[in-house]
Amino acid sequence: MLGVGVRYCAGPVPRRRQLNDGIPMAPMTEFPADLEGAIADLKRERNALILAHYYQEDPIQDLADVVGDSLALARAAQQAECDVIVFCGVHFMAETAAILNPGRPVLVPDLEAGCSLADGCPSDAFREFVDRHPGAQVLSYINASAEVKAMSDLICTSSNAVKMVESMAGAPLIFAPARHLARWVSKQTGRDDLIVWPGACVVHEQFSARQLARLKLQHPDADVLAHPECDQGVLDLADFVASTTGIIRRAVEFPERPSIVATEEGDFHSIRQQAPDKVLIPAPGADESCSCSQCPYMRLNTLEKLYLSLRDGGPEVTVDPVIADRARVPIERMLELS
Ligand code: 13P
Ligand code: SF4
């Protein structure tokens, strides 16, 4: 049973990026003409490690020391040897890096870079949810706040969710906060007793199975690749379901075959670098006029804000040390099991 005990309440979605959003509280003249060069210089001077998720804009990916999915970035943060980490991703990812690096500053170019999944699972409501299921184990998707992680027995990402669920046999299992991922994992594992916090990703949820079916008819040879945060109707039409890294690997593996891709379009950059002639077709949303496969949170980070982060040493992501100590246990457990 996919138990839905709580109403889904998504956090506010930031407005889409405006042209001047990359220039926070500073006149244009404050930025060096060679912004990329200045960032590279500051990175060296500060002995900084730049981690970037695949959903960051292309120039940020090009400047990063490590580009990866959420699991690879958590691992890179755990192994960091630097004076400061600049996390070009969303808040929960930077928070995870901070939890794994007590005493080392973790900066994020825009502190407002949230996530509909993390924001839609407030810790006080989640506490009540957990209390309503005494004896259940708690497996939380990494797209959750530090407080929710601190209430969890284990963390998972989209690339290891099946393995993590399989490692938690026995007691009833709470899975939070991604309902589409939960349904997909349930199908993969045959485990139909997950107790699910019904959150969703605003980016992946907008892909439309109806429009995708029509697009497939126009491209019968295309390989349909989807992230498991998509709705089940979209996943049912996919040839391959995987994390951001998994999607990139699959696309590069078949460079001659067009791919319809149901994930954030930042994934395309890495694919194009490795398979320049590959035909990539973004999966459609319900609204045909909208190509809305950019995460409005991820895209709050810009080169200008990355420059300011390195120059000014902020904004820093901080986690209450008591919460961090608790949250570190299930994160490290995941990294050991992965
Ligand atoms: P990955 O774990 O595949 O990087 O996904 C993170 C994410 O936020 C997808 O929307
Ligand atoms: Fe969160 Fe979705 Fe953006 Fe990923 S794409 S960070 S799940 S809102």
Q: Convert the pLDDT of each residue in 186-197 to its tens digit.
A: 999 999 999 999
Is 270's C-beta closer than 6 angstroms to any atom of ligand 1?
A: no
The pLDDT of residue 30 is 79
Is 300's C-beta closer than 6 angstroms to any atom of ligand 2?
A: no
Any idea which ligand is nearest the CA of 297? Answer: 2
Is 156's C-beta closer than 6 angstroms to any atom of ligand 2?
A: no
CA 244 to centroid of ligand 1, rounded, Å: 6
pLDDT below 70 — which residues of the chain? 1-29, 289-292
AA identity, residue 29: T
Q: What percent of the chain has pLDDT over 90?
A: 88
Domains, the chain, ordered by start: 6-10+119-196 (3.40.50.10800), 35-116+298-328 (3.40.50.10800), 204-282 (3.40.50.10800)
Is 155's C-beta closer than 6 angstroms to any atom of ligand 2?
A: no
In 3D space, the residue among 185, 257, 186 whose CA is nearest the CA of residue 225 turns out to be 257
- Supply 304's token pair: 């200008």
Q: Within its chain, how far is the Cα of 146 from the centroid? A: 15
Within a 13 Å sphere around the CA of 266, how many CA atoms are in the beta-carbon half? 28
- Counting atoms of ligand 2 from 1, which one is nearest the CA of 92? 6
The pLDDT of residue 12 is 40
Is 304's C-beta closer than 6 angstroms to any atom of ligand 1?
A: no
- Counting atoms of ligand 1 from 1, which one is nearest the CA of 73? 4
In 3D space, the residue among 216, 197, 189 whose CA is nearest the CA of residue 283 turns out to be 216
| Secondary structure (H, E, C), the chain | CCEECCCCCCCCCCCCCCCCCCCCCCCHHHCCCCHHHHHHHHHHHHCEEEEEECCCCHHHHHHCCEEECHHHHHHHHHCCCCCEEEEECCHHHHHHHHHHCCCCCEECCCCCCCCHHHHCCCHHHHHHHHHCCCCCEEEEECCCCHHHHHCCCEEECCCCHHHHHHCCCCCCEEEECCHHHHHHHHHHHCCCCCEECCCCCCCHHHECHHHHHHHHHHCCCCEEEECCCCCHHHHHHCCEECCHHHHHHHHHHCCCCCEEEECCCCHHHHHHHHCCCCCEEECCECCCCCCCCCCCCHHHCCHHHHHHHHHHCCCECCCCHHHHHHHHHHHHHHHHHC
The pLDDT of residue 27 is 52
